[in-house]
Amino acid sequence: MILEVNGEATEVPEGTTAEDLVTLLGHRSDRVAIEIDGRVCPRHARPTTALMPGQHIELVSFVGGG
């Protein structure tokens, strides 16, 4: 299925969860914040949040320094 991730069409397997997406894109789960169709998906809900075709996902992966 095709999702829009950070503005780009991204193909992922059917049944991909929010947690799977973080891993597929090579990010560390504890450094990431995710918004799905305008709503933040908390980390505890990621493993059970199945993604649907066409959803708009914003994934921000933070780097250190402040």
Selection from 29, 62, 56, 55 nearest residue 43 by Cα: 29
The CB-of-61 to another protein minimum distance in angstroms stands at 8
* Binding of residue 32 to another protein (CB under 8 A): yes
Structure tokens at 45: 């809900």
Structure tokens at 12: 């992922």
Binder among 4, 10, 43, 55 for another protein (CB under 8 A): 43
Task: Give bridge partners of residue 31 from the DSSP assignment.
Answer: none
User: Does residue 28 sit in helix, strand or coil?
Assistant: coil
Identify residues 5-24 at the interface with another protein (CB under 8 A): none
Residues that bind another protein (CB under 8 A): 28, 30-33, 35, 38, 40, 42-43, 58, 60-66
